[in-house]
A and B are shown apart, each in its own frame.
Chain A
Amino acid sequence: MQQKRKGFALLVSATMLVGLLAGCGSSDNNKEGGASPSVEVSKEGFPIVNEKISLTMMAPDVGLQNWNNMAVLQQMEEKTNIKMVYNNAPKDSFETKKNLVFASGEYPDVFYAAGLTPAEQMNYGEQGILVPLEDLIEKHAPNFKKVLDENPGVRKSITAPDGHIYSLPVVEFNQPWYRNPMWYNGDFLKKLGYDKLPATTEELYTFLKRVKDEDANGNGKADEIPLSSVNLRDIRTWLLGAYGIYEEEIYVDDKDVVHYTPIENGYKEYLTFLNRLWKEKLLDQETFSQTAEQKKAKAQNNQVALFSDWHAYMTLGGEQSMDDPMFAPVKSDMVDAPVIAKNRGVTTGAFSISSSNAYPEASMRWVDYLYGYEGALLFNKGPEGTLWKYTDKASLTKEYLPVPGGGDREDYRATLTPNYGIPAPTISIPETSKGLLTEFDSWVENESKTKLLDKGARIPYPTLFLTAEEQAEVTTLTSDLTTYVRQMEAKFITGAEPMANWDSYIKTVNKMGGQRMAEIYQAAYDRWKES
């Protein structure tokens, strides 16, 4: 027995020792950058610094090209005299890596496209790991400052509750879609003799019913799937609009009142409508179990009349086609006109500077370049003369060059620039693609304009910061709420739960904090409105 105890004591002390050793490391801040001599940072023009400086950058990598070999970044280094040392992590493990980096105490100088969440920005900002950017923007970011001045909403959206700005956003005002649009199968419309798209939920129902009953694909079989979806996520927002609801979770109405969608009356009507479609097999019976590929395969089999995707041809197969019109939001009896959600256009967390960065001014000037026409163009389309060239430099008109070596244009682009599939700090400026748009692009733009923008599409709820307490409460509430709401949505629609149980559903949702969600977001909205 004595023996055992001694052995155990030894073991305990050994493990404690190891634990301590490992623990100490975490407070080991490397601050070598802090003492380096100050370098002259020019106020404007290039290079940014006269003596070459070096910064470490952390970014998600899609793995198509080593960042050191990207033409855009090489050109950037030459232009600015700032050498970036890339400390990238694969895109799919980036979140984990990011947290490990914060935990390890060795921060990169800048975070690029790191998708820092509002909670992260507040936490790390409050602790001084991320430096406040307001002053730097004021003094060293003419391009970005112009964006802020022209769009006061953006400044409100990127400012944390403590009044500081800890990250620069992705600014994307030209993309109006909140979710991928829905599209009609044009052949079906023609076959059924539609020259005007359904404008009310009843007309939509009739159309879907006719697709099913009148053999819209003409193969003699009743195999049509009038409305197809994967889990409803892709079509929900579009249909909710018919009942005066902007978004599937949180939205603010025209009187500045914030609503939590799943407890709204309009939401009940939406469920009733979809339940009717389900019962008559007008909504894909595999909606809740199929994969996106299976949905596509059905559409390519010419079975689907209405669906959601980026462009119609991506689901229907074949070439880009202007014969498949965009879904024009329909209205129910509840409202005079459908409400339509518009993309927020601002995503925070795209670029941050850490406290270990010895050259914050130079870093800010570096990133500011990306918010001007030239920089945005460079990072979006690659260097001039590779994939595109100017046809008329004065009016900024361009044309595409053939892809070197043939092959896919986008694949090639991804070897030139890092801005491929990651939330990179930049702004979309219409002039960047001047001359590069096809007839199809213009047609799509016009569809969006006439069917969505001109019909009063607006942002359902602004991009804003919750306070740490609010964030914590929302996090706790949503894990149960979302599960329950999604589950009940499916049950109400498929009829597994009769609509008669709506009242007890409401009771449960509110017990789980449904009403509370609306309150939290209301408070945050009021703050944002006043700021």
Chain B
Amino acid sequence: MVTTFKESKRDKLFLALNYLYLTVALVLVLYPLLYIVSASISSPQYVNTGEMWLFPKGFTLDGYKLVFDNPKIWNGYMNTVIYTVLGTLLNLVVTLPAAYALSRSDFVGRNLFMGMFLVTMFFNGGLIPSYLLIKNLGLINTMGALILPVAASVWNIIVARTFFHSTIPKELQEAAHIDGSTNMNLFIRIVLPLSMPIIAVMALFYGVSHWNSYFPALIYLNDESKYPLQMVLRQILVLQEMSAETTGAAISGDIAEAMNNKAEIASLVKYAVIIVSTLPIVILYPFLQRYFVQGVMIGSVKG
């Protein structure tokens, strides 16, 4: 918001309240985040008794050590980055043109397409037919199984469509048609550059879902060297949490003891894993924020 005007008293009060509101929100959200960071480097016993409530107590890096000692972790990072980048590119290529087409009221049949897409939001054939499809397409144990089945999301298409619909002035299309410009030209030369905010949002939404995804990898990948980060982290966690199974049911003694040795570190690893897996994507966000700056679009249209 670029305002060079003098703020009135009312406005100052409003701004003050606004800052107060945001500060309260900041504190409320920040506390548990700090808790996680502290918990990841504190002795689990203090965490579980509630003695560690803000600052680390009984400092230890064992959780991180366990995560990074795993030789698969870096490979997992690399795989995740590849899947995320390629997957997101595919998502954008499928989503943006479709959303734009759907936003055009002179697009004959758009409601039909919309209906077809919407149905898939509610009805799906379930895991087994999807698995058979992937298998018959020969995608088992390939990257394709991770990115093709999630090439687009109805939800995101609708959100992007709404953005195009409510922000791209209709005059632009009219003018373009009169000039004899093609739709392709219009879309690439004019619409996309004006839609940086929604492109950024779509990239973020899709990117995050690729980053966090593990289920397709769980089902479709056999080869450990292809596992994404989340899968590797899951394996570490599952191994630590096998101790939970010892509550109640009798198992063999050796395992019970092994698990007991690990139970200590299990709760520690839980927090470390959160940090390891999300830090990169949290850091990314401030860089995307610049695309949300106001007035970029209309100004350029009128200019």
Contacts and interface: CB of A to CB of B under 8 A. Distances in A.
Do A and B touch each other in the complex, judged by CB within 8 A? yes
Interface of A: 3-4, 7-8, 11, 21-23, 25-26, 62-64, 66, 87-93, 96-97, 99-100, 103-104, 172, 175, 177-180, 230, 233-234, 292-294, 296-298, 300-301, 308-311, 314, 343, 408, 410-411, 413-414, 420-421, 428, 441
Nearest to A26: B132
A88 B128 CA distance: 18
B222 A180 contact: no
A296 B135 CA distance: 46
B118 interface: no
A21 B128 CA distance: 14
A510 B68 CA distance: 54
B38 interface: no
**Interface extent on B, as a size class?**
35 or more
A6 B91 CA distance: 29
B136 interface: yes
A8 B113 CA distance: 10
Q: Which of A63, A178, A441 has the most CB of B within 10 A?
A: A63
Q: Chain B at the A interface: mostly helix, strand, loop or mixed?
A: helix
A301 B49 contact: yes
B49 A410 contact: no
B132 A104 contact: yes
Contacts of A172: 252
Contacts of B26: none
Interface string B231-264: 1001100110011101111101111111011010
12 contacts: A4-B112, A26-B132, A63-B239, A292-B263, A293-B263, A296-B263, A300-B49, A311-B257, A314-B263, A410-B254, A414-B258, A421-B255
Contacts of A22: 129, 132-133, 136
B267 interface: yes
A38 B86 CA distance: 48
Interface string B186-220: 00000000000000000000000000000000110
B48 interface: yes
Contacts of B255: 410, 420-421
Contact of B258 (A23, A343, A411, A428): A411
Given A104-B132, A308-B247, 4 more contacts: A89-B222, A96-B219, A311-B260, A314-B256
B219 A314 contact: no
Contacts of B250: 175, 177-180, 343
Given A4-B112, A22-B136, A177-B250, A410 B48 contact: no
A92 B222 contact: no
What 6 A-B pairs are tightest by C-beta distance, nearest first? A410-B258, A297-B48, A310-B256, A63-B235, A177-B250, A25-B136
A513 B44 CA distance: 44
A309 B250 CA distance: 9
B29 interface: no
Contacts of A88: 222
